[in-house]
Chains A and B, each alone.
Chain A
Amino acid sequence: MNIEYLVIVIVIMSLATFATRLPPFVLFSGREKHPLLQFVAKYTPPMVMTILVIYMLKGVDFLAMEGLYAFAALAITIAFHLWKRNALLSICVGTSFYMMAVQW
């Protein structure tokens, strides 16, 4: 346990993390209207969202019970969202179901 070491690590990690979030705003400031940038701005969110969902599910073993629960919870979340289009409700219902299933 070395407090000085920990403090330096926290400073380094803070700067390194910020360094990954800042560049687009510095590099492209004032060029927001460029057609290619607008194209990228429009289509990165749908791509990133697809990739994030796959990323979250990649560790799930779909041949185990856990996989069945995850699959059902996902189906419930999607169904609720298509039905009510209330993000909070869909997430609550899906997550509660998953929690009950894995804790039982």
Chain B
Amino acid sequence: MIRTVLKTTLPICFGYLPLGVAFGMLFQELGYPWYFATLMGVFIYAGAAQFMAIGLLTASAGFVEIAIATFFLNSRHLFYGLALLNSFGNWGFRKLYLIFGLTDEVYALMSTIEVPEGYDKSKFYFLMTLFSQSYWVLGCTIGAWTATQLTFNTQGMEFAATALFTVLLIEQWIKVRKPLPFVIALIASAIALLLFAQHMLLFAISLSLIMMMVLRSTNQKVRNEY
């Protein structure tokens, strides 16, 4: 099982390690002990939010402002659980950890792949989440540790995240085989980029979900086919 999960999550590793290293290096410039980069990876575990934290810490931002900014930056995650309600069972603390670790990459992977035959689902998901977070924490730590003495050139490695989402998009197409959700997402993205480029993700996801539900309730053809 461990080998299968490693293989499944390796694409996330390629994305998280360099991104975590980049975070650790930037964080180190603030002058805090290195292990706080590790702690942030362990407890916050949100890429964009941690990068934002560097700016907020530098500016000595207020606690309320930090809470609101973090919530809104991550608010797209409000929709992620919807697709996994059925996939997660009543697994107690294990389920709580799965919810805690539901990042963009983990969500994308979990909502697309099927757990291979013969594996315990809760254990498989748990290890997927645990490994993914480990890559992130490792990246943050290495970055803060080595700071400026890094010898391996990771420039361009961030493309791994784009490649991962692209591959999963193809898999979604193979799974769904109906154009409507993809077309709606394209339109919603275009509108979001034009109007709210700053909060593109949240706006595009909300808008596409609303459009999809409106179409379902007003259009007979959509209701029958989807």
Q: Decide whether A and B assemble into one complex.
A: yes
Interface, chain A (partner B; CB < 8 A) = 1, 3, 5-6, 8-25, 28-29, 32, 36-58, 70, 73-74, 77-78, 81-82, 87-88, 90-92, 94-95, 98-103
What are 22 A-B residue pairs whose CB atoms fall within 8 Å in the complex? A9-B57, A9-B63, A14-B45, A16-B66, A17-B77, A21-B77, A21-B100, A25-B95, A39-B216, A43-B212, A44-B205, A46-B173, A47-B181, A47-B184, A50-B189, A53-B162, A53-B165, A55-B200, A55-B204, A70-B159, A91-B163, A98-B159
Interface, chain B (partner A; CB < 8 A) = 7, 10-11, 14, 30-32, 36, 39-40, 43-46, 49-50, 53, 56-57, 60, 63, 66-68, 70-71, 74-86, 88, 95, 99-100, 102, 104, 107-108, 111-112, 153, 155-157, 159-173, 175-176, 181-182, 184-186, 188-189, 193, 197, 200-201, 204-205, 208-209, 212-213, 216, 226
Selected contact of B156 from candidates A53, A92, A102, CB within 8 Å: A102
Of chain A, the residue at the smallest CB distance from B71 is A16
How many A-B contacts at CB < 8 Å in the complex? Answer: 252
Of chain B, the residue at the smallest CB distance from A74 is B166
Residues of A near B49 (CB, < 8 A) are 13, 16-17
A82 & B170 in contact (Cβ 8 Å cutoff): yes
B167 & A77 in contact (Cβ 8 Å cutoff): yes
Residues of A near B82 (CB, < 8 A) are 24, 28, 37, 40-41, 44
Of chain B, the residue at the smallest CB distance from A93 is B163
Of chain B, the residue at the smallest CB distance from A54 is B189
Of chain B, the residue at the smallest CB distance from A9 is B66
A81 & B170 in contact (Cβ 8 Å cutoff): yes
A87 & B171 in contact (Cβ 8 Å cutoff): yes
Residues of A near B85 (CB, < 8 A) are 24-25, 28-29, 32, 37, 41
Selected contact of B212 from candidates A12, A47, A70, A98, CB within 8 Å: A47
Among A5, A37, A42, A91, chain B packs the most CB atoms within 10 A around the CB of: A91
B185 & A10 in contact (Cβ 8 Å cutoff): no
- Assembled-state Cα–Cα distance A56/B173 (Å): 19
Given contacts A45-B172, A50-B185, contact A78 B166 (CB under 8 A): yes
Residues of B near A51 (CB, < 8 A) are 185, 188-189, 200-201, 204-205, 208
Of chain B, the residue at the smallest CB distance from A56 is B162
Q: How far is the CB of B100 from chain A (nearest CB, A)?
A: 6
Selected contact of B163 from candidates A1, A12, A45, A73, CB within 8 Å: A73
Residues of B near A13 (CB, < 8 A) are 40, 43-44, 46, 49-50, 53, 66-67, 70
Residues of A near B100 (CB, < 8 A) are 18, 21
Given contacts A21-B81, A24-B79, A41-B83, contact A12 B170 (CB under 8 A): no
Residues of B near A23 (CB, < 8 A) are 78, 81
- Assembled-state Cα–Cα distance A58/B192 (Å): 11
Among B81, B84, B107, B159, chain A packs the most CB atoms within 10 A around the CB of: B159
